[in-house]
Amino acid sequence: MTQTYDLLLIGGGAHGASLAFHLSARGMKVAVLERKFLAAGATGRSSGLVRMHYDFEQEAALAWESFQWFRDWKERVGADPCGFTRTGFLQLVKREHVDALKANTAMLQHLGVPTFLVTAEDVKRLAPALVTDDFDLAAYEPESGYADPVSTATALMNAARARGAVFVQDCQVTGIRLQSGKVAGVSTSKGDYSAPIVVNAAGAWSRQICEMVGLDLPLGTWSHDVMFVVRPPELRLPHPTVIDFPNSMYFRPEGGLTLVGLEDGNPLNESPDGDSDHARAGFVDRAIDRLCKRIPAMENGALHSAHGGCDSITPDQHPALGPIGPEGFWLDTGFSGTGFKISPATGLCMSEWILDGAPKTVDVSIFTPTRFEKGIHLVSKHPYESIWR
């Protein structure tokens, strides 16, 4: 028996859960079809940073709107927590990029983001354990920090289900049905589902879903690793969350642990079905070397664990959002490793686009996937450097 809905969402990560929440809040009958279980893909492997510092204004606006959801989670979403923890956030850049840092900080301030420039001496006061001799200025966001990605997706999905959404796990999509050039529904390992709108929020598997409607889009994958280190007793107090471009690294606290990820050496276009339970050979040694370069006292720390993950990526490393191909087919993917922190606002804007004909909270139409067919790449006004190497 075919089950009928107003809209079908393929993918049960943070973005699928967010869009389901916002659509169901407005009375839309939605089903989320997930190949494994909630947050089984990139969301479950996300580092969970919640910060606003982007060099592209529309992404910064999404991050700023999303931050307010994380901050006021109980009032906006419900009792289920997202695990938001305020740590403060530092953006470090190389000295040759200080003009871009100033310009991007000014752009963020114009949006209303609570951020400002601080000197290396200020950073030393904020985080005495950090080495600060390779930069002069940094951007600081005192309200930022991190959240728990799995808890976030769970809270959004539970709230969506309370509003009538249906979540179907262990449900592999095997095809998308079309009638007269329009979306009619999907076929899955659990039977057929009918709806006039299908949203591809499948993350690293998005390209395969696009192929089901005859679209050949440049949606690739990038693989990444993270490790957790037990901080030594002298560093028992949490430090800020930091993106450290001089060392191509980011790190944040989590209780007595520090999470560390690297911004370089991340393979592109590997299978999303590969091993994500283990980090690649050599990653831990590289990450420890970089962390100790910034925080020498970490030499006395201990490795807790390490794992991998895989996310979708676009040619310009900006999201692919909006309708493309047959009528009723939409993309909500391509977040290129920075999607978790903008998921609450992205779902809101996509719901506005689908229901009202245009996104209102933030104009995300600039991220239309049709840009790839036209050879258009989005570029920030004040970029730092490409980390996709």
Between residues 385 and 48, the one the model is more confident about: 48
Question: For a pLDDT cut of 90, what percent of the chain falls above it?
Answer: 96
User: Distances from the Cα of 1 to the Cαs of 164, 177, 187, 191, 197, in angstroms?
Assistant: 20, 15, 12, 8, 19
Report if residue 251 sits inside a domain: yes
**Is 212 in the same domain as 332?**
yes
pLDDT in tens, 99-125: 999 999 999 999 999 999 999 999 999
Give the predicted TM-score (pTM) of the model.
0.97
Assess whether 308 and 320 both reside in one domain. Answer: no
CATH code at position 267:
3.30.9.10
On whether residue 252 sits in a domain, the answer given is yes
When pLDDT is averaged across residues 325-330 and rounded to a whole number, the result is 98
CA-only gyration radius of the chain, Å: 21
Question: What pLDDT, in 10s, does the model give residues 282-315?
Answer: 999 999 999 999 999 999 999 999 999 999 999 9
Span 127-140, mean pLDDT? 98
Q: Which stretch of DSSP H or E encloses residue 309? A: strand 302-313
> pLDDT tens, 16-54?
999 999 999 999 999 999 999 999 999 999 999 999 999
**278/337 same-domain check:** no
- In this structure, are 228 and 302 located in the same domain? yes
- Residue 386 has a pLDDT of 64
Same domain flag for 137 and 224: yes
Same domain, 241 and 302: yes
Q: Which of 298, 313, 328 is the C-terminal boundary of a domain? A: 313
Structure confidence at residue 257 as a pLDDT band (50, 70, 90): very high
Clarify whether residues 214 and 343 are in a common domain.
Answer: yes
Q: Is 161 inside any structural domain? A: yes
Mean pLDDT along residues 198-202? 98
> 290 and 225 in one domain?
yes
Same domain, 253 and 112: yes
pLDDT of 388 above 60: no
pLDDT of residue 2: 77
Is the domain of 131 the same as that of 24?
Answer: no
**CATH number of the domain to which 7 belongs:** 3.50.50.60
| Domain count across the chain | 2
Domain that holds residue 302: 83-144+220-313
Position 209 in a domain? yes
Decide if 130 is inside a domain. yes
Average pLDDT over residues 314-327: 97
Per the prediction, the chain carries an average pLDDT of 96
Is residue 387 pLDDT above 60, yes or no? no
| Cβ neighbours for 298, distance < 8 A, ≥ 6 positions apart | 229, 231, 232, 235, 258, 288, 291, 292
* pLDDT greater than 70 at residue 4: yes
26 and 132 belong to one structural domain: no
Question: How confident is the model over 160-175, as pLDDT tens digits?
Answer: 999 999 999 999 999 9
Residues 154, 289 within the same domain: no
Both tokens of 56, joined, read: 């592209």
| Helix ranges (DSSP H) in 163-242 | 206-211
Phi–psi pair at 247, nearest 5 degrees: -110, 10
In the predicted model, is pLDDT for residue 357 greater than 60? yes
Residue 385: what pLDDT? 75
